[in-house]
Structure 1
């Protein structure tokens, strides 16, 4: 084995410490089923070195994982299909999850945290299991695998989880609980809610070809991956520009929650939205405090700059797609820790010409209006529309002009101290990556900073790196 290889030392199946407390199987919902053609989620944290031997470290993770599964028994199960009805379920059968122990003594934290002008090291792709695995494979494969990779002076905890079973909210609640238990907390702080009597529960049946679905994007295209960091101050400047205002607030007066998105905006509806994502009319006026959020401002700048870097014809239609959490949009609201997928995708469209001919506020307003419009009625219409035509989620960049924003800077990714220090970085594997796939992470320093993990074709990435309008905000 070459010295530069990542070596798998062991693999073991971990079972919940106690049998599942869920007495019935969990039916996959209207929000879960479309994700069966998506690959498993791969996210993890780079941690400082623990003062533990390898044996003690792996023992800690095994015991902690076993205890965590008691609170998330669905993740120790498998997916099953009822051959009579065609409905799919999470079988809470305590089949267990896989825990891998790997070593990469040739890699250091410094090598994995290169200067900002360099791409993300390819080594991160080796810190996860179940590459290229579609969530439909959860019929046979574990719904979760965890890989603990010991580096020269750090540890990487990589978690791979079935996307038809969890969205980002549920993924990070599991991860946070795993860390909480590992560091010896006697009681978990955020128990998941496994209810299924929601608007997403449906009698609709999603049909599959023999053998299951296929991936909807090519995994062979050349790509570059890079982290762009935006400080709180830079994001405030973007927000001010998008709202055509002066940044009168001092940085210390702005909370992290406000930086990301004012949830109060979700209570104001903009209706009569065309199916292609354009706003045609506003039927309820916005309050004076309703403004384009910081994150929407950042997304608008990215949309403009990537579109420019792609050198699209002025008449070419571009699409910016983002997933929204529906838990707080429904009336009555879902529990904040509802377990499963509770997301819908919002496409916003514009021609390249109109996006670039107008200023930042124009594109930001298109995104903002679509997000604000996504209220209870819109969520329910989306459910009914899917029920009339059940289908898988088409993940990819099919016309060369699409951007897909995933994850969220509001997820508590750095709240993962396993007992010896908070993460040095948050990174992902190779899953679900294609030209135009963006993932948003909180910056390590918090306070409203954001990291964008940007995946683009090499020539587009080069154009983005040379886009002065975009790069002036990058630190």
Structure 2
């Protein structure tokens, strides 16, 4: 793994999933859910032919003289990826109606609170299919040192395509981890950012951050090699900053598994911290975006009491 991948060993797995309405045929017909599960497993196996590193485990090679450590993916004699079927006595309304995402959604994902280093013993990929009374949730947990946002949804899109077409070939080359340098934006406390500064000031700060993101700024590997460290997400970011992840440009609602279009996107416990904002395409399309915002309770109350902000969003 490259240095940037290694610094992520203490970061959580990526956990994203899609919520589908359970077709009426699955409610009335016996064994219809079992048929879906078999088709999901079969198409997943075909997908892993192209994404075969996800069936492996992490392994660390140690050398004493000179001292040297390297982390790599070992596919030899691996137990493979994980596939789980779970059931819960909840409805779609129980998940979608509350303003705050119910904590039970965290149980829809395997590898809860696992960090990437755990990939030495845990599967790098785990799929959990949770059956609700009137819905199906497909949750995917993937080791973040192996896959990032673009490659995560490329895997999901490929799995969906193979499921729907029964065609094991793929239209795009397999992409695994794709990291780039972190762009640190100089945000101050949100009260100051929203109330005490003008839009021009914010635009200038963004302009300066982009202008200073030059060749020298991104070539940090030599310095890291002299003083290597493993980052902890909560310590790596400014506690008064805002971290934006994911993208509304990813093809999320395009994933279908014989149940029509998903009705919602949800994430697990992984990589949550105060000031984290995740961006998803809106269900309605047309450029609408859904934001999943993580804030401490007091900060969330302050945000929700700001009329100007709330006028611009729909809850």
Question: What interval of TM-score do these two structures reach, taking the shorter chain for normalisation?
Answer: 0.7 to 0.9
Distance 2:217 2:59 in 1: 27
Distance 2:259 2:187 in 1: 48
Q: 2:136 aligns with which of 139, 155, 159?
A: 155
Contact 1:417 1:423 in 2 (8 A): yes
SS at match of 2:242: strand
Distance 1:411 1:341 in 2: 14
Distance 2:210 2:156 in 1: 27
Contact 1:44 1:428 in 2 (8 A): yes
Contact 1:31 1:341 in 2 (8 A): no
Q: 1:134 aligns with which of 111, 115, 134?
A: 115
Q: What displacement does 1:387 show?
A: 3.2
Distance 1:408 1:369 in 2: 23
Distance 1:101 1:350 in 2: 43
Which residue is 2:172 aligned to?
190
Which residue is 1:357 aligned to?
196
Query: Structure 2 vs 1, CA of residues 95 and 153 (structure 1 numbering), >3 Å: closer, same or farther?
Result: same
Which residue is 1:220 aligned to?
none
Distance 2:17 2:249 in 1: 16
SS at match of 2:126: strand
Task: Tell me which moved more, 94-103 or 344-353.
Answer: 344-353
1:32 aligns with 2:26: no
Query: Structure 2 vs 1, CA of residues 469 and 418 (structure 1 numbering), >3 Å: closer, same or farther?
Result: same
Which residue is 2:29 aligned to?
none
Q: What displacement does 1:378 show?
A: 5.2
Which residue is 1:61 aligned to?
40
Which residue is 1:170 aligned to?
151
1:348 aligns with 2:185: yes
SS at match of 1:189: coil
Distance 2:204 2:166 in 1: 44
Query: Structure 2 vs 1, CA of residues 373 and 450 (structure 1 numbering), >3 Å: closer, same or farther?
Result: farther
Contact 2:187 2:241 in 1 (8 A): no
Taking the TM superposition and a 5 Å limit, the aligned residue runs for 1:39-188 are 39-50=12-23, 51-52=25-26, 53-84=32-63, 85-93=68-76, 94-104=78-88, 106-114=89-97, 118-186=99-167, 187-188=169-170
Distance 1:111 1:151 in 2: 10
Contact 2:188 2:241 in 1 (8 A): no
Distance 1:382 1:449 in 2: 37
SS at match of 1:348: coil
Distance 2:198 2:270 in 1: 34
Contact 1:164 1:341 in 2 (8 A): no
Distance 1:112 1:350 in 2: 33
Which residue is 1:382 aligned to?
220
Contact 2:59 2:120 in 1 (8 A): yes
Q: Report Cα offsets for 1:33-74 as digits up to 9, x if no partner.
A: 111000111110001214451210110111011111101000
Q: What displacement does 1:92 show?
A: 2.6
Distance 1:139 1:403 in 2: 31
Distance 1:430 1:438 in 2: 14
Distance 2:72 2:133 in 1: 42
Q: Report Cα offsets for 1:334-389 as digits up to 9, x if no partner.
A: xxx4x1142322212254486443212322342354246546x2574233443343
Which residue is 1:443 aligned to?
282
Distance 2:217 2:90 in 1: 46
Distance 2:221 2:288 in 1: 34
Which residue is 1:431 aligned to?
270
Superposed CA RMSD in Å reads 2.1
Q: 2:232 aligns with which of 388, 394, 412?
A: 394
Which residue is 1:409 aligned to?
248
SS at match of 2:3: coil
1:420 aligns with 2:248: no
